[in-house]
Amino acid sequence: MANYLNDISRTFGEFLFIPGLTTKECLPINVSLKTPLVKHQKDKRSKIELNIPFVSAIMQSVSGPELAIGLARNGGLSFIFGSQSIDSQVEMVKKVKKFKAGFVVSDSNLTPDNTLEDVINLVKRTEHSTIGITHDGTPNGKLLGMVTNRDYRPEKDAPNKKVSEFMTPFNKLHFGRLGISLTDANQIIWDNKLNTLPIIDDDDNLMYFVFRKDYDSHRENPDELSGEDKSLLVGAGINSRDYVERVPALVDAGVDVLCIDSSDGYSEWQRDTLQWIKNKYGDTVLVGAGNVVDKDGFNYLADAGADFIKVGIGGGSICITREQKGIGRGQATALMDVAKARAEYLAKTGIYIPICSDGGLVHDYHMVLALAMGADFLMMGRYFARFDESPTKKLRIGNNYVKEYWGEGSNRAQNWQRYDTDGVEILKFEEGVDSYVPYAGKMKDNLKITLSKIKATMCSCGAVSIAQLQNTAKITLVSSTSIVEGGAHDVILKDQNR
């Protein structure tokens, strides 16, 4: 007969924290959410540390370049989805890296021979009012002038008026030379009361814009996740099919970390992918693997060279793997089992491999439970899909605004590469659904609330770091009736819309 595990597959909703001693140190302002992203020797720092323990899911409906920029600016990291062409994914990675924490590659450019009508159409399309005028209309052409919304009046100027007639010409522009520091560029902006400073090379080719508004934005993002060159950090999803072509292209684009995207990571295909990458690049290319739900899966990927390991099968809000295949495990049970295996691996090898909890989160306090149960960071899809920065459409259904959200295992995604079956380039059945999530607005506003809840919960547990939380938190199972008791009950709630 099959091997039978005599335990219960439990979810986060079945647990609560018991308060610990809240010392005078336990204030939200003192809580650090820094956490390692990739493996490291015991008592040494990880090559990459997240400033908040959040990464975005490797999904078409979640992780595009806009969300990657927004999340990195707030201290987390995105994995650009891999279910697209290599060239398309590479361009998304480059867009994040070119953001350069203040030095922005222009995506709005015209020539002097274009017209006011071209300007108006470009502004509508990009929603950017600053336009670089170059000799060939490209982002890196020879800079001849600039146009902003202060240079024309659409209601009075003729649509066919040439750009050359109303642009600010080069000889009247303030500019910085390539190699200038962000500090010096901002000083020029301040001294000359500018909104935008073009950065040009020795041949007067436009390289970047530096914006006054970004200076204020940088001050508002103290947790920004960037490298030594001040470029934002970004990850990318890969599969176990075309990694020989995809990985070198992503590495050349400047990607900081990779992750193999699969519903089941306990496979020889993932082992082969990891070993190929490590044989070719050594430790210079960092790559995570998964997903797994037990000790055996963790040890297999750890021995294969994974830099971090994702935990979770079937717990995502759009995932139907459990009902389709009967494969999976309650996220809380899976996470605790893998965390125990990670501790044994550390004791044996002296190497700490971070684990990522992927799925099963319903409430914000579930995030703290996941961290307390051993996760170093959390991968989330539904949470981020709700925001302006996600790549999906915002729709109005009835009286509510929603955003589209679909799984990588759905027919809509057509991501057959993440399933290692018989090589057929088709999904034989779905393991994900096509759905909507309630629209929630800007990422930063929502993150602020979520992180406040996390820090407050940690303080109630007597912890000011994730490591301390994992060592000191007390967790208890709850009954179905105590779950009811935990919400509003035996009262008539007021209508909040009145």
**The amino acid at 339:** A
382 given a catalytic annotation: no
Of 404, 401, 414, 394, nearest in space to 435 by CA: 404
**Sign of the alpha-carbon torsion through 213, 66, 465, 36:** negative
Helix-strand-coil split of the chain, %, nearest 5: 35, 20, 45
Residue 104 CB neighbours (<10 A): 18
Contacts of 176 (CB under 8 A, 6+ apart): 184, 185, 188, 197, 198, 199, 200, 210
Per residue of the chain (498 residues), give pLDDT as tens.
788 888 899 999 999 999 999 999 999 999 999 999 999 999 899 999 999 999 999 999 999 999 999 999 999 999 999 999 999 999 999 999 987 657 888 889 999 999 999 999 999 888 789 999 999 999 999 999 999 999 999 988 999 999 999 999 999 999 999 999 888 998 999 999 999 999 999 999 999 999 887 666 666 788 999 988 778 999 999 999 999 999 999 999 999 999 999 889 999 999 999 999 999 999 999 999 999 999 999 999 999 999 999 999 987 776 767 667 778 899 999 999 999 999 999 999 999 999 999 999 999 999 999 999 999 999 999 999 999 999 998 999 989 999 988 877 666 656 545 555 555 555 556 566 678 899 999 999 999 999 999 999 999 999 999 999 999 999 999 987 777 777 776 777 776 555
pLDDT at residue number 430: 59
Of residues 246, 271, 386, 418, which has the active-site annotation?
Answer: 418
Active-site pick, 319, 356, 459, 461: 319
Residue 351 dihedral angles phi and psi, to the nearest 5° = -110, 130
Give the CA angle between residues 334, 337, 342 to the nearest 5°.
120
Residue 319 falls in the annotated catalytic set = yes
